[in-house]
Amino acid sequence: MKVAVLGAGAIGAYVGASLSRAGADVHLVARGPHLAALRERGVEVRSPRGDFTAHPHATDDPAEIGPVDHVFLGFKANAYAAAGPMVAPLLHERTTIIAAQNGIPWWYFHKLPGPFEGHRIESVDPDGAVTRALPVDRAIGCVVYAATEIESPGVVRHLEGTRFSIGEPGMTVSARCTEFADAMVAGGLKCPVEPDLRCDIWIKLMGNIAFNPLSALTRATMAGICRHAGTRKLVAQMMEETLEVAHRVGCYPEISVEKRLAGAERTGEHKTSTLQDLERGRPMELDVLLAAVVELADLTGAEVPTLRAITAVADLLNQQVVAAS
C-alpha cells in the first residue's frame, strides 16, 4: 500500500511513521528544517507507549512521489482550498483522500440522505474551491483522538491517544476504508471504521467549538476554562447550541454536555491548537469550527446566540492576526 502524507507535521508524521514501521510504502511531504531532519534522521517518535524511529521517504515535491493509494492530509482545513496542485500528482483513478480535520468537513452532505443531500457549506467550501481541490468521491473522513506535538525538527512527541476513526460519507464500510484501517492497526494505532462518522464529528466538535476559540480569546488552558465558573457555563451553552444544530441536520450524538466537559477537564493544562496558532502568529482554523455551525443554524432555523457572539469576536481577533502576518 502506497501512502502520501501531505502536511507531515505532528499528526501527519506520527501517522506516517506508524504506517511505515508496519511495512507500508510511505512518503512524507514537509518543508523547512523539519523536512531536512526527516531526510537525515527519519521520524523519531517519543511516546509513553514506546519510542521508535521510522525512515519513510520525505520530500517537498509531491510530483516526486507519483500516484498513491491513499493521501493523508495532515494540515489544517483552512489550507484545503489551495491544496489542489499538491494533491493532483498523487492521484490515480482509485486514490482516496483521508482528511484528518477538526470541525465540519467539506463533504458533510455528500451522499447523506435527507433534505440537505449534496448541499455545499459555503464557509468550509467557498465557491466550491475545496471540492475542486479535493473531489468528494475520493473523500474518507477521519476524526483524530491522538495528541502529538513537534518537539524539535524531525522529533514527534506523542502525548496520548492512538485512535483515528474513519468512515465513508455514504455510511458504508468500504474495502478502501478497511484496507487503510488494517494498515493503521498494523502500525500500532486504533482505526475503527465507523458506519456513521458524523456522530464522531459532532462529539469532537462539541469540545473544539467551545475550547478552541475561548482559549485563544482568554489565553487559558482547557482545564483553566473548566475551572472558571463563568467560562464553564459559557462552554456548556455553546455545546448545547451545537447539539441542537446537530439534531437539526439529523445527527444525534450519544453524549451529554457534562460528560463532554468532564472529558475536556481531564485533559489538564493543555493549550488548544488554536491557541498555539495564535501564539505563533498563524491564522486560526475557525471556519470549520464556528462559522460552519452558524451557517448550518441559518440553514435549519436553529437559535445559536452564544455561538454567534463568540464567532464575531473570534473572527475579529483572527483578522488582526492575518493583518499582522
3-state secondary structure the chain: CEEEEECCCHHHHHHHHHHHHCCCEEEEECCHHHHHHHHHHCEEEECCCCCEEECCEEECCHHHCCCCCEEEECCCHHHHHHCHHHHHHHCCCCCEEEEECCCCCCCCCCCCCCCCCCCCCCCCCHHHHHHHHCCHHHEEEEEECCEEEEEECCEEEEEECCEEEEECCCCCCCHHHHHHHHHHHHCCCECCECCCCHHHHHHHHHHHHHHHHHHHHHCCCHHHHHHCHHHHHHHHHHHHHHHHHHHHCCCCCCCCHHHHHHHHHHCCCCCCHHHHHHHCCCCCCCHHHHHHHHHHHHHHCCCCHHHHHHHHHHHHHHHHHHHHC
pLDDT tens figures, 250-289: 999 989 999 999 888 887 888 898 998 999 999 999 999 9
Q: What is the pLDDT of residues 176-212, one digit of tens each?
A: 999 999 999 999 999 999 999 999 999 999 999 999 9
Read off the pTM. 0.94
Average pLDDT over residues 44-49: 96
Extract the C-alpha cell encoding 198: 458524523
- Residue 264's pLDDT is what? 85
Quick check: is 204 catalytic? yes
Catalytic residue among 204, 233, 259, 271: 204
Yes or no: say if 48 and 146 are a contact pair by the CB < 8 Å rule: no
For residue 265, the model assigns a pLDDT of 86
Q: How sure is the predictor about 220, in pLDDT bands with cuts at 50, 70 and 90?
A: very high
